[in-house]
Structure 1
């Protein structure tokens, strides 16, 4: 391999690290614990430290499916050249950085997806319509589902007829049921991912879907019982513990769903030359996000916490639960998803439940949606033109 080619690979790797840093410093590094900071449940610096750790863990353990989708699932028939990979990463990270500096909610998933498709089509690739339909469905349904679930939860939590010592444990039990059935790379047999319920099933020598359902029910009941005891002992402390636990799960999910946007475009190149394995690339992307969370996220966490402080612990919990569920669904489907879109939609839903129409700023929502759509359109257009002219 000549020096020029090595230099291009190094440039591509640096562009990927820059993208990972921007993701860690941006919304995926700030939003998971911003509600907890706003509710005075944790300090800003400790939140940044934890979100970096959990985000790194999610990137390494769950980042494979999104990385493969971004790397080879968006365009058929061609692989992006090194120069194309560099352009995609720099364009996506650059637009995201502009969004952070200007305050516009530029969505990383939209910019990277648009850039990969734009460059790929310009180079003669074929559209993967099935994947596009899947992505469009997730992107379109995220505000409706996330906002709707947050609305329902926020409507139920403050009611006297639904005491929190019961409603919160039930909510946590739902999260626990999902958690024990999430696929983790290190829990399977051989190279196949596995679940916590699957590990318990193998240890107990049980078989069938019924046993998985039973294990899930038992684990959920145990988690709900512990939460009930915690809230019964001290409601404020119990809500704080639930909020911090959800923040950790959302941070983990953010790492798993967002790292692919940074390292996905690199994978086809590395597969061709056999330089490093996917797991090593995920570790590198996770480290980039971790550094971004530790160095860039504290400022954004502090800024977001001022907005979240008006939510309180209950509305924050209402926003974080659907954020966790949607992020995990995206990982399961291998669909690049905007964490910005997920969390903003959930916040709007929880706000509407408490404040009604007065809590919804229609103009701000339209500007946010316009920024999301504009992120995709701008990155696609710039990438397509660059692919036609420069590559």
Structure 2
């Protein structure tokens, strides 16, 4: 039987979690490169960001949610008060970033806050998980920026026409999509990829089956775009850019919803709510946040960091999709703004970097580091302060 006091605490935690989900969604920028390339409007970008984001939250959000709820601290479980403090600290810092126009890293604030409250409760650090997180955080700007730079340089070559580059990029997206985990395909084990499920139905060894299924998905997507560009090159380019933006938005939902509902899950699952309901709740929060608050951040990244054409916008989104799916696969909280900003910067440098705001870049990186340290300190101090009352 659930007492009134427990319900009150759960209610406060739910409000804090929804606010955190709203701020996470409001800080999303998957369609920023498309807006910078003038293939879509800011408001339309925000709408589709929220729409595909809630689908990703429901279908891919389990791994990161479980990591945030129980994987960052050993030896203790988050108390209801500690969970509420972590959510309020993280959401507050992200909200400051949104309204000042500088994209703070949501994963940094949420991770720092959860670790802070966990250590204040007497838990011990989960060093193995920290190594995974740190490795991905460090590699994200190198991978996204580097791959975006190389792809942008490739498509700027006169001897690589759009009739070939667009289907090629579509095939690359298909390779990643075929191996992306979906909770609905194997809910009992945290998810499975399209290629893995298809491989079990093929009369081939497992590795060969996965390779064949992956290649099939890539060829289908590449083939559809080849037909599209032969009819109208510009239309094919727009369709590719929109499709990648949709997949990146979907990936944002899968990798980011856990930042909002991870601390909430230990509070509500014991009283009878399933993880699917928690993910739907978080997905609604990020969707409304994207619709209401994302236009400001999309504008900031699309117009303040770099002016991208459709080609370089596509080059920026492909590695963003790949790294986001890697985070989903391993259940690692990663900042989506770090992903998108790194990709935009790499793609922008392919054109000489003259239109990239280095001052804004410096402030953004500084904001990411400060958000991690500040969220940890505030959350740790708040839990200690509450304990002394």
Is TM-score (shorter-chain normalized) higher than 0.5?
yes
CA contact (8 A) 1:122 1:387 kept: yes
CA contact (8 A) 1:39 1:309 kept: no
Summarize the Cα distance change of 1:61–1:361 in structure 2 as closer, same or farther, 3 Å threshold.
same
CA contact (8 A) 1:39 1:308 kept: no
How many angstroms apart in 1 are the aligned matches of 2:307 and 2:67?
38
Q: 1:381 aligns with which of 374, 377, 382?
A: 377
CA contact (8 A) 2:20 2:87 kept: yes
Summarize the Cα distance change of 1:193–1:348 in structure 2 as closer, same or farther, 3 Å threshold.
same
Under a length normalisation based on structure 1, what TM-score does the superposition of the two structures give?
A: 0.94
Deviation at 1:359, TM superposition (A): 4.5
Q: 1:328 aligns with which of 320, 325, 329?
A: 325
1:174-323 equivalences under 5 Å are: 174-188=172-186, 193-204=191-202, 206-271=204-269, 273-307=270-304, 310-323=307-320
> Unpaired runs of 5+ in structure 1?
none
Deviation at 1:353, TM superposition (A): 1.1
Deviation at 1:204, TM superposition (A): 4.6
How many angstroms apart in 1 are the aligned matches of 2:90 and 2:158?
47
CA contact (8 A) 2:306 2:357 kept: no
How many angstroms apart in 1 are the aligned matches of 2:21 and 2:151?
33
Describe the superposition over 1:133-173 as per-residue Cα deviations: whole angstroms up to 9, x where unpaired: 11111111111111000000010001012222222222211
Deviation at 1:254, TM superposition (A): 0.3
Deviation at 1:346, TM superposition (A): 0.7
Aligned length: 386
State the Cα RMSD in Å. Answer: 1.8
Q: 1:38 aligns with which of 27, 36, 43?
A: 36
Under a length normalisation based on structure 2, what TM-score does the superposition of the two structures give?
A: 0.94
Q: Structure 1 residue 16 and structure 2 residue 17: aligned?
A: yes
Deviation at 1:305, TM superposition (A): 3.8
Deviation at 1:42, TM superposition (A): 2.6
Deviation at 1:385, TM superposition (A): 1.3
> Unpaired runs of 5+ in structure 2?
none
**42-51 or 373-382, which moves further after superposition?**
42-51
Partner of 1:346: 343
Summarize the Cα distance change of 1:49–1:189 in structure 2 as closer, same or farther, 3 Å threshold.
closer
Partner of 1:364: 360
How many angstroms apart in 1 are the aligned matches of 2:112 and 2:8?
26
**206-215 or 110-119, which moves further after superposition?**
206-215
Deviation at 1:201, TM superposition (A): 3.4
Partner of 2:122: 124
Q: Structure 1 residue 80 and structure 2 residue 47: aligned?
A: no
